[in-house]
Structure 1
């Protein structure tokens, strides 16, 4: 088979391609970063980081750039590809991310932290920083994690069932306004037709997943795989008997958890305990 002919000579890696297109479009239009700031409202630093590959920016910024350059939805499409690109995740998680994006249903139990698909940028940043990330790498991983949430969006989004230990909802962020935003996000997510949230309250008793957060992915070929994680590493479990054993434990704690309606009421009560941001 002949070698694939390079048509444009531009990068085939989504994140680099996105940054490259931003630089080319601005050069063609003759804008400076400062001019973009004046016209679109975001800082020159924001655009500079996006063009340098240090940041992907937000979809709002990208849509504004598409309008400014008259590129339809081209930049937004490239942004979506960059956000979903598994190569931006740490190597040990890349296979899981590929499977997560292809799963036809997901189940999760979290005993200490929120699943990445339910995290706000502020929650992800604080959690990843506690894990030792900082600077550019931290911001890239925050963007990658938040970008995963697109898996649960749209008419064909897979069903996602998540059981949260009460401890997850008690371990607040340092910033109370940011924590309030996170709780509001979980509550809003629980109202989506494809997302079901259960809360496992204190006092439910000991169970088989006490120290094992786990996510189950049902795949197109009918298989179900599980992903378990601790502070050191994550493990993809594909052995059928081991997956079934984890599923039986999961079913037990689902039966111990509050109903979805009771869980939403519980999260609302949690919100009432968090003070609103003081007025200035």
Structure 2
């Protein structure tokens, strides 16, 4: 088994290899290459022994691609590196997002309490295939497929937030609209509904549906997230109409908290929401 120091060839894993800023993705690629070389493996041997394509592994080492986190879990196990690659991957995934969203993601990763409203199925609860369908809609340029896969990988990586220890207390309200616009592929939609059903039964997560009968409301055009840290500090994050904003002003955060409370009062209870999800699942099956 290679120690963290051996994996990077330095005494400090977090130390940069030169004076220039190194992206998270580049640092991950360097670590992958050093681990392989320390193990005395060629790219061809690594491909044969792990089942991943040689060209794919090469692009990971060069920093051209961001893998799914499960690939890093596999390679951590292969090299006996603990969770070294997974930790580097969590830093690397920030490269796929804009600066303000990176700041939000950092706060989300350490939040003890999360409250979210989403007009659609929130990213934290999406399956891989459903996420790919949602994210592919806006990609029409050359190289779009690769960009989509990186965004899918980063989105799925965020779902680790629900399983980290200590588990955060999470409440998610989603509009009934999310349940009434299925994925184009029937199997993808069934799997997504099953994921929602499973999430609704997690002990640290309360999932509520805001029914159509609640009428028009003030968050119809975007999502809202409220985060509380262990020290009691809070922020709000809004997305909608092609823009996003991280809100730290205490008075404004309080206003958004009150607006969220009003949505919660209009939403179905967690048990009634679970019953609705199951009804939609049965309708789909039949």
Return the TM-score normalized by structure 2.
Answer: 0.81
CA separation of 1:201/1:41 partners in 2, compared to 1, >3 Å: closer, same or farther?
A: same
Deviation at 1:30, TM superposition (A): 4.6
Deviations 1:110-158, CA, capped at 9 Å, x for gaps: 12x2222222232332222223372333222222222112222133121
1:43-62 maps to which residues of 2 (within 5 A)?
Answer: 43-62=53-72
Distance 1:61 1:219 in 2: 30
Question: Are 1:146 and 2:145 matched, yes or no?
Answer: no
Q: Is the 8 A contact 1:107 1:162 kept in 2?
A: yes
The residue aligned with 1:91 is 99
Deviations 1:156-211, CA, capped at 9 Å, x for gaps: 12111011111012222222222222222222222222111001122222333233
Aligned residues: 269
Q: Is the 8 A contact 2:96 2:154 kept in 1?
A: yes
CA separation of 1:270/1:32 partners in 2, compared to 1, >3 Å: closer, same or farther?
A: farther
In structure 1, the gaps of 5 or more residues are: none
The residue aligned with 1:270 is 280
Runs (4 or more) in structure 1 with deviation over 4 Å come to 5-8
CA separation of 1:16/1:253 partners in 2, compared to 1, >3 Å: closer, same or farther?
A: same
Q: What value does the CA root-mean-square deviation take over the aligned residues?
A: 2.8
Deviation at 1:7, TM superposition (A): 6.0
Three-state SS of the structure 2 residue aligned to 1:234 is strand
Q: Is the 8 A contact 1:50 1:56 kept in 2?
A: yes
In structure 2, the gaps of 5 or more residues are: 1-11
Return the TM-score normalized by structure 1.
Answer: 0.83
- Please, which moves more after superposition, 101-110 or 64-73? 64-73
Q: Is the 8 A contact 2:67 2:150 kept in 1?
A: no
Deviations 1:62-94, CA, capped at 9 Å, x for gaps: 3332343343443333334434xx343122422
Three-state SS of the structure 1 residue aligned to 2:212 is coil
